[in-house]
Amino acid sequence: MDKRTALTKKNNQSYEYFARNSAENIITFFNSSKMGLSNQQAVLSREEFGENTITHGKKTPLFVEIIKAYFTPFTIVLIALAIISFITDYVIAPPADRDLIGVLIIMAMVLISGTMTLIQSVKSNQAAEKLNNMVKITATVVRRKKEVELPIEEIVCGDIIKLSAGDMIPADIRLTKTKDLFVSQSAMTGESYPVEKRADYKLKGNSVETEYENIVFMGSNVISGSAEGIVVSVGDNTLFGKVAQDVSDKNPQTNFEVGISKTSWLLIRFMLVMAPAVFLINGLTKGDWFEAFLFGLSVAVGLTPEMLPMIVTTNLVKGASSMAKKGTIIKNLNAIQNFGAIDVLCTDKTGTLTQDKIILEYHLDCDGKEDSRVLRHAFFNSYYQTGLKNLMDVAIIDAAKEELSIDSSKYKKVDEIPFDFKRRRMSVVIEDTSGKTQMITKGAVEEMLEISSFVDYQGTVTPLTESLKKEILKTVEELNEDGLRVLAVSQKTNPATIDEFSVSDENEMVLIGYLAFLDPPKETTKAALEALKKHGVGVKVLTGDNALVTKSVCKQVGLANEELITGNEITKMNDFELKTIAEKYNIFVKLTPQQKTRIVQVLREAGHTVGFMGDGINDAPAMKEADVGISVDTAVDIAKESADVILLEKDLMVLERGLLAGRTTFGNIMKYVKMTASSNFGNMFSVVVASIFLPFLPMLPLQLLFLNLIYDISCMSIPWDHVDDEYLEQPKKWNASKIGSFMKWLGPTSSVFDITTYLLMYFVICPQLVGGNYHDLDPAQQATFIAIFHAGWFIESLWSQTLVIHTLRTPKIPFIQSRASFILTTITSLGIAVGTILPFTSFGQSLGLAELPLNYFAWLGLTIVSYLFLVMIVKKFYVKRFGELL
């Protein structure tokens, strides 16, 4: 390993080495030059030092997607059962008795479930990829004296990069030249204010990498000034790459994933108890242990809701497709259900509650009157500065163009003193055609008062006294209370300077007025907050803005009379105290990114399902910590990568629609889980009873498998069902214990009528057709008796467990007060029709079923109507006891 490779692989590419050494040494180190790399050198550098890509959120390989789709807890059980069935039905069976139909039915279930899951997972990933490819960032690179714009992915170590105001830092760069360079590196440090970077910085003693003033880091951005530098670290080896990897590694289980896991293992444990019990009972009562084993195997298959992964995935993908049409991209399928479970939504103020568009509301003189002179001076300051024009600068320029007529050709910029966050102000010096010069400064009111010795008050320039300062600050406070952000403007005519203008020249200035800005609330915000509240979702505002402005905005959107909690207060709290405060209060101001994450953590620990909406890189950890991370398509890449959901429109109304889609999805998933669990429980309870009293198996293994296959195909239509409006009113969470109680309450109701069907078939229908009771018949007649019995119970089981879908899908009266979707009704009807006709076909007879008399169907109609009536009575008591059906 050569010196260069060894060094770059050690200690985050040895930032201390790059900070201490001269720019010339660094350029030599990378075999570069001031003219930049050649294309060939760039290729070699990429091979040696790596690509400039971040590997957080890696695309899941296709083979992993395949494994996840086909090998779920349920399908693993089915595959094991298929292997056992293959051995017993084919390998060790006599040649004449070999039969693979059972194995094929089981594997068909696995293939249908896995394939549907795989297809829809791939579709979801492709949608996320398309979104991620929407944003392209470029940088100005010197390649052999030529300045070219390249995608940041093509940048390599040794490249010479030129930076100017507004640029994103494309890699970790050792600065070689700087001019008034200020960089926002909150991505790394959480600092609210930009820091100054200088090429002539000399490292003294030990300090952390982010404090090296001659290195700028990927993920930061240039606020003002310009610079040139050489790339010293790219991709995963940058500090940004390390942070991104840390964020990606932290991926706590969501409410949805925990619920799915608990439910899956509940059903598997139930199967592991019931199947052996059926095997033992039949072995002891019938004496044929091999036949009992095969029947127990079929019972295990029947008790396994193998379509759960497919039903869940289909529901989620359908929900994702629906949301995509409404401007919401679902990156993580599970987030759809989590949307429905959210009961606390944490969101920033700017751009979410407000329009994220600054408007210059007032330009006032020091008497509080509108004054175009104040706007004109502010225009010169914003127009001629070379730093990044923020939203307030844009608002000033737009207002001046609309209200004033300014011929900028009559003025030229002499110099400027860039903005920095220690002074919190910036100045420009301009000269008109007559030779008159002016220094115009705008900035935060307190800092402007420090450099202003005079004030233009009541038409005259007078000394700025303490009483006038108090009056000015009172005016500013009143404007803040109205939700306005205030800047002050001062000027000085014909300022004298020896050489270049500097901060020391910002003195003895005349305060001429104020600029008051408004970031107005969105028109939809108040209605959206009311809609969210109506649907059981509490909104908590987590912002870094000050208390007065936040309070005013919140008042306008319907969050009046709320007590505000500040970041300073939170710093003094332990987690227990913060948990109490976080649940009680809804508006938090002056927060750091770490404090936002803490609030999300304690809310989740308190049992809430939390959504977090953010668009900055510092929001990424909190978004990862939340059950649902929500971002917008204009957010920084790491925020979008951390998000589960991307909004193409930053609006709470979109979230409200997402919540309803999530709850619909959850409802349809719970329909399948609860219906199937209770139906299977009821059927197996019936099997146990029949196994004890009947002299033969109540249903053959193949018949049980085929019955289960028809039912599962019917259930595939559940994702296309709709849910009652009342169901959408409150957040929905997984509760495995409720599934157990649902099984115990609703399952045995079917057993009542299964037993009446046994009695009907054993004592009435079968003796009537065969000509005697079972024990009085010869073996051939007994075989016919059994085939008729099996056909009767097969059809009754199919009708009862399919039609009960319509009864249990709603707490209302089915078919009258609440009707299933056309697709669900059609598919379930077809399933019943196929199963009913089956005993009358040669295939059904090959399965061991026999034709039934017409009077059987009269009894069947009475049985089914009575069963559905009993289910409606039981579900009414169930809802009264547990509060909800699904």
Catalytic residue positions, numbered: 348
- Tell how strand 628-632 and strand 610-613 pair up: parallel
Helix or strand run (H / E) with residue 185: none
C-alpha span between 506 and 450 (Å, rounded): 10
Classify residue 250 by burial, with Cβ atoms within 10 Å: 0-12, 13-18, 19+: exposed
Torsion of Cα atoms, 670 then 672 then 677 then 680, to 10°: 170
Q: How far is CA 775 from CA 342, 453, 694, 695, 778, in A?
A: 61, 116, 11, 9, 8
Backbone angles phi, psi at 97, to 5 degrees: -100, 0
Q: Are 442 and 452 in contact (CB under 8 A)?
A: no
Q: Supply the DSSP symbol for 522.
A: P
* 219, 187 Cβ separation under 8 angstroms: yes
- Give all strands (DSSP E) within 472-545, no chain letters: 484-493, 509-518, 538-542
Quickly list DSSP for 541-565: EE-SS-HHHHHHHHHHTT-TTPPEE
Residues in contact with 721: Cβ distance below 8 Å, sequence separation at least 6, in sequence order: 668, 671, 809, 820, 821, 823, 824
The strand pairing partners of 511, in sequence order, are: 455, 490
Q: Tally Cβ neighbours within 10 Å of residue 193.
A: 12
What's the half-sphere exposure (Cβ side, CA atoms, 13 Å) at 219?
28
Residue 496 per-residue DSSP state: -
Query: What's the CA gap between 886 and 672, in Å, rounded?
Result: 10
How remote is the C-alpha of 679 from its chain's centroid? Answer: 34
Largest CA distance in the chain: 126
